[in-house]
Structure 1
């Protein structure tokens, strides 16, 4: 009797979304600041009417963080719904739509705004389809909020590109802040789910008990208030309403810090990173709110607390936690993971502290130092986790 036909396995990087898109996001995160700050000296060779700073912010949000979002949701949604994850050619197609916009963004090619808009929108719509499918199969609405926010994220992307094309850079600046706010909603929703697993593992590594239960009122409050603040900032940007709502969002994030009152277990690197990301979210909105009400603080500092501090730490924590769990490994952080988290925290501090009077002698130089630490964090993660992500995981078939 002949042997049955062997099951063809995909390359490990194509086995699920995070194994492909986390390394892709890391490579982009390493190159983007180094090229922009070190090689191009904060300029872009083909940028004409679009400010280089807006190109940079866009590529950070829709490039690095967009790929991280694809990896996270592309793997998490099938896990949450107990359905089969997309793999193989489906992931390569998603990558093919993501890549053109990044190549255009590296040089700030204003003339190619419309093609980049088309491919970025196609990338987000295909991601939407990929994560909607498991919910439809299970007839579930439990994680349906992600569909709403990805749809809004895609519409904001189109609006930014349209504003650039029409030369409305004041509006595109507001829309970039809105895109950052949407990503902070993703952060809030993701932490609410990830933190349950991480904290319970920290309290009982055996997994025999689940001593930690999140407060249900905190699950979506921060995300909801960020959404309200986003809407107010677009509709009434010159009023005090966005500032007051920013303070409300800050209170929601800071209130969630109570979830990390778990004793010595909070000092575990993965637990502390999630707590610090949440704290940076609260402090960022606090600064934005105070600045909007006339306090002597810069809203730019608040935006960097959110974009580098909160999102940088959260994304790196997700890379570490999900990278280990989805590779069949225990949640015991290797040295590279701890170093990557420490470097990301240092990047956030270097970007923010000189702006609030701590280390003022580094003003100007702190851009390069923060960019170097940011790139180093992702490079360390990529080098340390490459063997983990590229190791075959038995029993996986291929489309």
Structure 2
């Protein structure tokens, strides 16, 4: 007598995307990261359709920090916190509510309409404050303090987002600019925290795919050095310390990120794409912070290209590395990352000098609209990842057992 497995009805696309945070928010983040800078720089010529009191550049900074990186953060938090705490993950409606709130803020940013600033601010603040409350609730249920640092950074980010949005609503460019600068630093602190969490298991998996040993054990004093020094830099900035003092604090934070790069030298496996991407994220974040500090101490260039090295390069490559690695693990696929992910890493790394070097005065501006080449390379990086990983993320895992 022949027996067979009776399969449940295939889940719908919303059912698959709502199964966990990264399936929904990583594609949203990649699409926004690819399209927004290209539309702003190449199509619209650094203008927005309804930009009013505030410079369009502030909307650009807000959309990259709270738009592209914001969606990546929602996906990461709602996926990683359940794993770290061994709790049930958010699924379905809560994820789609967060996505809806995030999308309202992006409509305001796309148009640059001062009248929509209040609605966009309200929507962004709801999801920004929802994240630390979610982490705090999980910590309370599990009676653990292991998530306290993540909750603290998320609360600081929400406060910076509130200050930035207040600046947009009031038309106060200085307030918005200062708050966005602090928000960028906080995101770098979160980057240092996340890299400390994920680099160890990924490196051990590369060194021992059978997971029988843990040959990679970084120095414990280095794990939180970078985020700790970034926190000190943020504190000094908020306290109004002199530019020289905050410059040296920024340089120290950059050096801590560079110190993490040394831990990537694990033998020939150091040339694996996933290891290079994680180390490259620390390298670019550290180099960018060093350059920011140098600019404040009188170096002959502005802080803007230096911030792009840190935020566009370090944070951007870190986000893309998490997309590529977690996108495999959470769809039942092993390392190494596919060739498309390697290409995406390379395109993003090339976009950084294309954006920063002309502003440093190292190379002349390429032909065409300003920063067009950097925008195209940046967009291509995220679109290449999205095209390769969308089939993984938009479909359920293959069920065990043969069908009828």
Task: Pick the TM interval, shorter chain.
Answer: over 0.9
Partner of 2:311: 307
Partner-residue secondary structure (3-state), 1:310 = helix
Is 1:110 matched up with 2:114?
yes
Q: Which moved more, 1:8-17 or 1:109-118?
A: 8-17
The 10-residue stretch of structure 1 (262-271 or 387-396) with the greater mean CA deviation from structure 2: 387-396
Deviates more, 1:201-210 or 1:36-45: 201-210
Aligned residues of 1:354 and 1:366 also touching (Cα < 8 A): no
The 2-side partners of 1:5 and 1:302 are apart by 54
Q: What is the alpha-carbon distance in structure 2 between the residues aligned to residue 320 and residue 5 of structure 1?
A: 30
* CA drift at 1:99: 0.7
Q: CA deviation at 1:156?
A: 1.2
Determine if the alignment matches structure 1 residue 135 to structure 2 residue 136.
no
Q: Structure 2 CA distance, aligned partners of 1:300 and 1:237?
A: 20
User: Residues 29 and 68 of structure 2 are in contact (CA less than 8 Å); yes or no, is this contact kept in structure 1?
Assistant: yes
Cα contact 2:274–2:336 (8 A) shared by 1: no
Cα 1:71–1:115 shift into 2, 3 Å = same
Corresponding residue of 1:234 = 238
Q: Distance in 1 between matches of 2:77 and 2:8?
A: 30
| Mapped partners of 2:361, 2:214: distance in 1 | 44
TM-score between the two structures when normalised by the length of structure 2: 0.93
Instruction: Kindly indicate whether the alpha-carbon contact (under 8 Å) linking 2:41 and 2:370 is maintained by their aligned counterparts in 1.
Output: no
Structure 2 unaligned segments of length 5 or more: list them: none
Measure the CA separation in 2 of the matches of 1:124 and 1:165: 17
Residue in structure 1 matching 2:170, options 162, 166, 169: 166
**Which runs of no fewer than 5 residues in structure 1 stay unpaired?**
none
RMSD: 2.1
Alignment of 1:55-134 (within 5 A): 55-134=59-138
Distance 1:237 1:291 in 2: 16
- Does 1:201 pair with 2:211? no
Q: Residues 5 and 137 of structure 1: is their aligned pair in 2 closer, same or farther, counting only changes over 3 Å?
A: farther
Pair 1:360-2:393 in alignment: no
Look up the match of 1:44: 48
Describe how 1:1-399 pairs up with structure 2 within 5 A. Answer: 11-236=15-240, 238-362=242-366, 365=369, 367-393=371-397
229-238 vs 259-268, which moves further? 229-238
Q: TM-score, normalised by structure 1?
A: 0.94
What is the alpha-carbon distance in structure 2 between the residues aligned to residue 253 and residue 175 of structure 1? 23
Aligned residues: 394
| Aligned partners of 1:12 and 1:393 also within 8 Å | no
